[in-house]
Amino acid sequence: MSIEVKNLSHVYSLGTVFEHTALKDIDFSVGPRDFIGIIGHTGCGKSTLIQHLNGLLKPTTGSVIINGKDINKEMPMKEIVKRVGIVFQYPEYQLFEETVYKDVAFGPKNIGFSEEEIEKTVRESIELVGLDFDEVKDVSPFDMSGGQKRRVAIAGVLAMKPQILILDEPASGLDPMGRSEILGYINKLNKEVGICILLVSHNMDDVADFADKVMVFSKGRLVKFDTPKEVFSDVDELEKIGLTVPDSKKVLLGLKEKGIDVDTSLFRTRDAIEEIIRVVGGKK
Amino acid sequence: MSEMTIGQYYPADSFVHKLDPRTKIMLTLLYILFIFMVKSVVGYAVAFLFLVMAIMFSKIPVKYIIKGLKPVAFIVTLTIVINILWTKGGNLLFSIGFIKVYAEGVVVAAKMGVRLMLLVSTTSIMTLSTSTIDLTDGMEMLMRKVPFLKNSAHDISMMMSIALRFIPTLQEETDRIMKAQKSRGADFDSGNIVQKAKAMLPILVPLFVSAFQRAGELAMAMEARCYRGGEGRTKMKVLKYTKRDAVAYVIGFLFFAVMVGSGYIGLPF
Ligand SMILES: Nc1ncnc2c1ncn2[C@@H]1O[C@H](COP(=O)(O)OP(=O)(O)O)[C@@H](O)[C@H]1O
Ligand SMILES: [Mg+2]
Query: How large a percentage of chain B has pLDDT more than 70?
Result: 96
Distance CA A98, CA A140 (A): 5
- CB contact under 8 Å between A88 and B183, yes or no, is yes
pLDDT bucket at B103, cuts 50 / 70 / 90: confident
pLDDT one-digit tens code per residue, B139-173: 999 999 999 888 888 999 898 888 888 888 898 99
CA distance B22 to chain A (A): 27
In a mutational test of the pocket of ligand 1, which residue from A8, A11, A12 has the highest number of ligand atoms less than 8 Å from its CB?
A12
Average pLDDT, chain B: 87
The larger pLDDT score, comparing residue A252 to residue B268, is at: A252
Q: What pLDDT was estimated at residue B92?
A: 79
The 3-class SS string of chain B reads: CCCCCCCCCCCCCCHHHHCCHHHHHHHHHHHHHHHHHECCHHHHHHHHHHHHHHHHHHCCCHHHHHHHHHHHHHHHHHHHHHHHHHCCCCCEEEEECCEEEEHHHHHHHHHHHHHHHHHHHHHHHHHHHCCHHHHHHHHHHHHCCCHHHHHHHHHHHHHHHHHHHHHHHHHHHHHHHHHHHHHCCCCCCCCCHHHHHHHCHHHHHHHHHHHHHHHHHHHHHHHHCCCCCCCCCCCCCCCCCCHHHHHHHHHHHHHHHHHHHCCCECCCC
* B140 CA to centre of ligand 1 in angstroms: 35
Ligand nearest to the CA of A17: 1
Map out the domains of chain A with their CATH numbers. 3-229 (3.40.50.300), 246-284 (no CATH)
For ligand 1, is residue A220 a contact (CB within 6 Å)? Answer: no
For ligand 1, is residue A12 a contact (CB within 6 Å)? Answer: yes
Distance CA B156, CA B230 (A): 10
Q: Using CB atoms, pick whichever of A56, A96, A156 lies closest to residue B182.
A: A56
Q: What pLDDT was estimated at residue A283?
A: 55
- CB contact under 8 Å between B187 and A56, yes or no, is no
Distance CA B29, CA B164 (A): 20
Low-confidence ranges of chain A (pLDDT < 50): none
Please enumerate in sequence order all residues whose Cβ is within 8 A of that of B71, keeping only pairs 6 or more positions apart, or say none: B3, B4, B5, B6
pLDDT bucket at B39, cuts 50 / 70 / 90: confident
**Residues A193-214: b if buried by 16+ CB within 10 A, e if exposed:** eebbbbbbbebbbbbbbbbebb
Output DSSP code: residue A27: E
CA A232 to chain centre: 18
Q: Using CB atoms, pick whichever of A56, A94, A107 lies closest to residue B206.
A: A94
Q: What pLDDT was estimated at residue A232?
A: 94
pLDDT of B98 above 80 = no
pLDDT of B257 above 90 = no
- The verdict on A167 touching B (C-beta cutoff 8 Å) is no
Average pLDDT over residues B92-112: 82
Which residue from B minimizes the CA distance to A85? B183
Average pLDDT over residues B220-225: 94
Q: What pLDDT was estimated at residue A30?
A: 95
For ligand 1, is residue A90 a contact (CB within 6 Å)? Answer: no
Atom of ligand 1 nearest to the CA of B175: 1
CA distance A145 to chain B (A): 15
- The verdict on A245 touching B (C-beta cutoff 8 Å) is no
H/E element holding A281? Answer: helix A269-283
Distance CA B25, CA B38 (A): 20
CA distance A112 to chain B (A): 9
pLDDT of B201 above 50 = yes
Count of other CB atoms within 10 angstroms of residue B41: 10
Which residue from B minimizes the CA distance to A106? B184
For atom 18 of ligand 1, which residue has the closest CA? A47
Q: Using CB atoms, pick whichever of A17, A94, A110 lies closest to residue B177.
A: A94
Q: What pLDDT was estimated at residue B269?
A: 54
Q: What pLDDT was estimated at residue A182?
A: 92
Q: What pLDDT was estimated at residue B133?
A: 85
What global pTM score does this model have? 0.78
The larger pLDDT score, comparing residue B191 to residue B267, is at: B191
Count of other CB atoms within 10 angstroms of residue B214: 14
- CB contact under 8 Å between B181 and A78, yes or no, is no
For atom 8 of ligand 1, which residue has the closest CA? A48
Q: What pLDDT was estimated at residue B1?
A: 38
Count of other CB atoms within 10 angstroms of residue B182: 20
Distance CA A11, CA A14 (A): 6
* A22 CA to centre of ligand 1 in angstroms: 6
Please enumerate in sequence order all residues whose Cβ is within 8 A of that of A36, keeping only pairs 6 or more positions apart, or say none: A30, A196, A197, A198, A199, A211, A212, A213, A214, A215
**Residues B101-119: b if buried by 16+ CB within 10 A, e if exposed:** bbebbbebbebbbbbbbbb
pLDDT of B3 above 50 = no
CA distances from B43 to B80, B105, B111, B145, B259 (A): 20, 20, 11, 31, 8
For atom 9 of ligand 1, which residue has the closest CA? A48
Which among A246, A278, A242, A248 has a CA at the least distance from the CA of A260?
A278
Which among B10, B45, B19, B17 has a CA at the least distance from the CA of B249?
B19
For ligand 1, is residue A45 a contact (CB within 6 Å)? Answer: yes
